[in-house]
Amino acid sequence: MNPESLNFPFAGTKERYEKWENESVAVANIIELSKREKGFNLPDSLQEIKDGKITPEKAVDIDNRALENSECPNVIFGRPHAGEFVPMELWEMVTEDEGKTTFPIIDRGTEFIFRNEKIPSVGTKISRFAIDPNRPPLPGMKMGKTKALGEVLWKKGISGNPMYKEGKIPTDEKITDLSERFYLPYYNGMMATVGSLIDRTKDKEERILVLDGHSFMISQNDIFKPFCEHYGIKDLKDLPLFIIGDRDGESCDEDIREIFAQTLQKNFEELSQEEQTFLFRNSGEKRLIGVNEYMKGVRNVQFFGDYGKKTGRVNSLQLELNEGMYVDEANGDYFNAEYNQRGLELVKKLIEKTVFDINPFLKNN
């Protein structure tokens, strides 16, 4: 894979990366920080760093256990917004309201659901608001058509107010340094795993699917109103359980997108009526699947979709999960919630089965 041809600015800059390679940064878990400092009752942490310090290598979780199995599917999961750790130097610079309220907003449950010993995956432990691997990697870098909020380091929070104290906004130089430390290793892991899957294929007709795993909140907190207004969402509870995005057909072959959606629906309908009702328990309109509905895919889907256009081998979809399937909130309060283990398990198994059911199609069997 040649990332230079895809406008990946860190490609070939080994000497720049090596200066950070073994240098650790002090970090803290934002879930635990928010519980202590803000009094939030958040779902339990799903990530761990034992010594409170992180290197670029430790910031990325490359789970390639599946590659050791001959039954490994032609699919890789991305977990770009599961990160629970924030560099302490940034935490000390953010505002008490917008900054410290925004940082604990993660794609809840994606660490559990998209980390699967049967399917390769790559995730980050760094908060998406510190370094967002689903945005262009440099400050000011344009990405093409998208309504997505934020940038590689978010300077405004979820409700559009400044995240950093006056005079404490990270400089472009600092953002680039952080991106080299934590953005580049994530993409290295993704590209290496995609390359490994391509190497395993038996003929050039086989295709690879990059499935970028995300989730969206169902909460009613006022802090999310600007987010909803930006996307034109009237009520988060009326969104479907799953949203499949391919940037309006740009990143994935139509037949793959369609068979993925059809298979996901078939597998959902094969659940018991009680299980279906359970997963819909926090949903308003009781819709199952939306395609390119509000959230169509951002940098990751674009990046691997562009690579696929050059090779004819790689396709990319964004899969957004409705957190209402596996998160229970007290009166719609994002900051007073807990994971529902049954919901997590059901969604994980549903997606896993869908991947293996479409795998013969990807392998051209």
Domain extents in the chain: 8-362
Residue 14 has pLDDT above 80, yes or no: no
Looking from the CA of 153 toward its CB, the CA atoms found within 13 Å total 24
DSSP reduced 3-state for 239: coil
pLDDT at 48: 93
Average pLDDT over residues 244-248: 96
Task: Provide the pLDDT confidence category of residue 147 given band limits of 50, 70 and 90.
Answer: confident
Structure tokens, 259: 């068979």
CA distance 6 to 194: 15
Q: Which amino acid is at 188?
A: N
pLDDT at 141: 77
Task: Provide the pLDDT confidence category of residue 137 given band limits of 50, 70 and 90.
Answer: confident
What kind and span of H or E run contains 13?
A: none
10 vs 306, more confident: 306
Residue 3 has pLDDT above 80, yes or no: no
CA distance 46 to 61: 13
pLDDT at 310: 84
155 vs 5, more confident: 155
CA distance 319 to 78: 10
Q: Read off the pTM.
A: 0.94
Average pLDDT over residues 287-308: 93
Contacts of 235 (CB under 8 A, 6+ apart): 228, 284
Average pLDDT, the chain: 93
Task: Provide the pLDDT confidence category of residue 312 given band limits of 50, 70 and 90.
Answer: confident
pLDDT at 170: 97
Q: CATH number of the domain at 8-362, please?
A: 3.40.630.40
pLDDT at 5: 43
Instruction: Give the whole-number percent of the chain exceeding pLDDT 90.
Output: 84
Residue 178 has pLDDT above 80, yes or no: yes
17 vs 358, more confident: 358
Task: Provide the pLDDT confidence category of residue 8 given band limits of 50, 70 and 90.
Answer: low
Residue 145 has pLDDT above 80, yes or no: no
Q: What is the DSSP letter of 119?
A: B
Q: Which amino acid is at 155?
A: K
Over the stretch 274-283, which tens digit does the pLDDT of each residue have?
999 999 999 9
CA distance 289 to 262: 9
Q: What is the DSSP letter of 223?
A: G
Rounded to the nearest 10 degrees, how much is the dihedral formed by the CA atoms of 249, 252, 256, 262? Answer: -50
